[in-house]
Amino acid sequence: MKHLIILLFSIVIVSCSKESEKETVYKNLEGNKTDTLQSIQSTVKMVYIPGGEYKPFFGSNTTLVSVAPFLMDERAVTNEEFLEFVIANPQWQKSNIKRLFADTNYLKTWPTDITLPENALKDAPVCNVSWFAAKAFAQSVDKRLPTLDEWEFVAMADETTANARKKPKYSDSIIDLYLQKNRQFKSVKQSPPNYWGIYNMFDLIWEWTDDFNAVLTTGDSRSGEYNDKNLVCAGGATSATDVMNYAAYMRFALRTSIKADYTIGNLGFRCAKDTTIIKQ
């Protein structure tokens, strides 16, 4: 475990030197419009999340972030769904996508623009998609990507508890899932949902969030009370609210080491949506 944490600190330190470069790339998709998106239908069930307060991984021990009620897809976007998206929106196909929006590994295992890999499961999560592509898909189904705080709020839950972070084995069990090889090739919804009815938060893929690198931004919507940038570029875990939560630190390290055009073999996404409903 010590070697794992040392590696994660190294990733964060390297990410600091790339901060200014990142800030020019991921601002928002609307500022770099390509062509008009064609809408597609989404049949995935959305789960109501009532929101509340949670303690982010970084900050003071008294820092609490408020999360408004929202809707989240019960599972990640699948290969089949993303195939439908690129058929309807050819500008997001692998041979057409502008290099600004994805690196050269975008959908790299797909043999053609509109053909899934021979052994790929249609209901496995789509991976090797950039933040820009994930955001475009979400817009095409009239949704959005979840915010970092929304994702982490849901991620606090285990199968029986809304906030399981104080359970001794909570973080270790997540790390065990993260370390499993080739988990991204499995079908969605094959493991039990968490307390909220959300599937596969940890056992299949890493997932994009809308503000995935908000920890590099001073005074973002999550904070205002402390300088996230100093935490990233300094000692890191010395300012963590829970230094034993290695699983959260792994996510933090990944998010601060990537850019919006990156595509990774086990990085996909799910969608979210605003709601005005407040259930008692």
**SS3 string of 124-192?**
CECCCCCHHHHHHHHHHCCCECCCHHHHHHHHCCCCCCCCCCCCCCHHHHHHHHHCCCCHHHCCCCCCC
Cβ-proximal residues to 58 (8 Å cutoff; 6+ apart), any chain: 215, 226, 228, 231, 239, 240, 241, 252
Q: For position 210, what pLDDT does the model report? A: 97
Number of C-beta neighbours around residue 67 at 10 A: 19
Q: For position 248, what pLDDT does the model report? A: 84
pLDDT per residue of the chain (280 residues) written in tens, 0 to 9: 545 444 444 444 444 444 434 344 444 444 444 458 999 999 999 999 999 999 887 666 668 999 999 999 999 999 999 999 999 999 999 999 999 999 999 999 999 999 999 999 999 999 999 999 999 999 999 999 999 999 999 999 999 999 998 888 898 899 999 889 999 999 999 999 999 999 999 999 999 999 987 765 433 333 433 333 333 332 333 444 565 577 888 888 888 889 999 999 999 999 999 998 877 6
Q: For position 7, what pLDDT does the model report? A: 47
DSSP state of 217: S
Q: For position 225, what pLDDT does the model report? A: 39
Report yes or no: 121 and 204 within 8 Å, Cβ to Cβ: no
Show the tokens assigned to 92.
Answer: 């997001």
- Long-range pairs for 42-46: beta carbons < 8 A, 24 or more residues apart: 42/81, 42/141, 42/142, 42/143, 42/271, 44/73, 44/74, 44/75, 44/77, 44/81, 44/271, 45/73, 45/74, 46/71, 46/72, 46/73, 46/74, 46/273
Helices and strands of the chain, counted as H and E runs:
8, 7
CA angle 147, 192, 162 (to 5 degrees): 50
Task: Enumerate domains of the chain plus CATH numbers.
Answer: 2-28+46-274 (3.90.1580)
CA angle 73, 79, 80 (to 5 degrees): 90
Q: For position 140, what pLDDT does the model report? A: 98
Give the global pTM. 0.82
Nearest to 268 by CA among 91, 37, 85, 48: 85
Number of C-beta neighbours around residue 80 at 10 A: 15
